[in-house]
Amino acid sequence: MGFQGMKQIHMLPKINLRFSAWLMQKLDADSMRVVVSDKSSIELTEESVKLVFDLPMGSKIVSQGPAQGLALASEVMAFYGEVTNSHGQKGIHSLKAAEAYLLRPLTEELTELEIGHFQIAFAIFLVGHILAPTCKHDYVCLDFLESLVVPSQIGVFNWCRYVLKHIALAARKLQADLAKGISSINVGGCHLYLQVYYIDQLDLGLLNKPTGVYPRIPLYDYESVWKIIEHLRIDQTGEPMLSVYMAATEVCPQEKNLQAVGNEAGFNVARLDTEFGNTPRRTTLPLSLQRCQNSDVTPIRIPPFASPLECGPTQFSSFLKSRYPQHSGTKMPILLREHQARLVLHTNEF
* Alpha-carbon distances, residue 77 vs 71, 93, 157 (angstroms): 7, 12, 17
- Alpha-carbon span 153 to 176, nearest angstrom: 37
Closest CA to 169 of 276, 288, 279: 276
The DSSP symbol for 9 reads P
Query: Helix or strand or coil: residue 200?
Result: helix
Is residue 290 within 8 Å of residue 245, measured between CB atoms?
yes
Query: Helix or strand or coil: residue 331?
Result: helix
- Alpha-carbon span 130 to 265, nearest angstrom: 24
- For residue 42, the cross-strand partners are 34
Q: What is the pLDDT along the chain (350 residues), one digit of tens a residue?
A: 788 888 889 888 888 888 999 999 999 999 999 998 888 899 999 999 999 999 999 999 987 555 555 555 566 667 667 766 665 556 778 888 888 888 888 888 888 888 888 888 899 999 999 999 988 888 888 788 888 888 889 999 999 999 999 999 999 999 999 999 887 888 899 999 999 999 999 888 888 999 889 999 999 999 999 888 888 874 333 333 343 333 333 334 443 444 333 333 333 333 323 333 333 333 344 444 443 334 343 443 444 454 434 456 777 777 778 777 888 778 888 888 888 777 766 655 54
The set of residues, in sequence order, having a beta carbon less than 8 Å from that of 69 and lying 6+ positions away, is none
Per-domain boundaries in the chain: 4-302, 313-348
**Enclosing H/E stretch for 28:** strand 27-28
Strand 27-28: give its sheet, edge to edge: 27-28, 33-35, 41-43
